Amino acid sequence: MRDSLFLLGTVVNACAVLFGSVIGLILPQIPERMRSTIMQGIALCVILIGLGMALADQNDILIIILSIVIGSLLGEGLNIENGLLRFGHWIERKIQKIYKGPVAEAFVASSLLFCVGSMAIVGAIQDGVQGVHRTLFAKSMLDMVSSIVFSSTMGFGVALSAIPIFLYEGLIALISHLVGTALNAPAEIACMTATGGLLIVGIGLNLYGIKKIAVGNLLPAIVIAPLAKGVMPHVIQAATKLLQLH
């Protein structure tokens, strides 16, 4: 059953944006105070989800810390966070060359907001590898609120962003699902999930406005964590043999 539902989070996310856009076209503009309070409440829920994922694997704390440290070094060296922003602006410029107008502007702005972000990547990976949809469900709530606000001010183009959401997150989830099924390594997947949970906590803090964390630059940690988990026993075994020889 899990194999057949690994895209559920992606489908729900796309439908949430579509549903929110329809509501936004019908309802009047949402007051700023109400929108801010709703966003803060959802941010707290995102932090809770991240903590639940991070605390689920208490046996690999050292590996998780090592993965975060190495991942941050790689991410800062590659400047992933700014790379994601530049990619989004590049798409915006390309689309605006083809067509300029309220629909195009709304489509571009909302697509960038919903797709170019760490939560979409982490959630889609979790969706594909584990068939667990909590992260994308939480993102769906955030995106639905945002789409209501956006569509009430920018119009129908916001609803069209459901298409790139489905394609973008669906592709990541599909690749993750195929790779995860081939590896079939529950311990490595659990370590990766815990590391991803920490990144989701960072996303929640960003949403709440406590402190800006460059979560995009921490994304390599999700890849490093399962690799370190798989390699660590062999490293320990080799070190033990060397100590015995001496």
Token pair recorded at residue 110: 């909302």
Q: What is the pLDDT of residue 166?
A: 93
pLDDT tens-digit profile of 113-141? 787 666 788 888 888 887 878 889 988 98
Question: What is the pLDDT confidence band of residue 101, given thresholds at 50, 70 and 90?
Answer: low
- 71 belongs to a structural domain: no
pTM: 0.71
For tokens 């195009």, the residue is: 104
Domain span at residue 15 reads 3-59+80-189+200-214
Distance, in Å, from the CA atom of 92 to the CA atom of 108, rounded to the nearest integer, reads 6
How is residue 5 annotated by DSSP? G
Which 3-state string (H, E, C) describes 71-126?
HHHHHHHHCHHHHHHHHHHHHHHHHHHHCCCHHHHHHHHHHHHHHCCHHHHHHHHH
Distance, in Å, from the CA atom of 246 to the CA atom of 242, rounded to the nearest integer, reads 6
212: left (phi over 0), alpha (psi -120 to 50) or beta: beta
Amino acid at 124: A
- 174 belongs to a structural domain: yes
- 237 belongs to a structural domain: no
- 23 belongs to a structural domain: yes
- 239 belongs to a structural domain: no
- 74 belongs to a structural domain: no
Report yes or no: 191 and 225 within 8 Å, Cβ to Cβ.
yes
| Residues, the chain | 246
pLDDT tens-digit profile of 177-229? 887 765 557 788 788 888 888 888 887 888 777 777 888 888 889 889 888 88
Q: What is the pLDDT of residue 15?
A: 95
- 229 belongs to a structural domain: no
- 224 belongs to a structural domain: no
What contacts 121, CB < 8 A, 6 or more positions away? 172, 219
Give the chain's domain count: 1
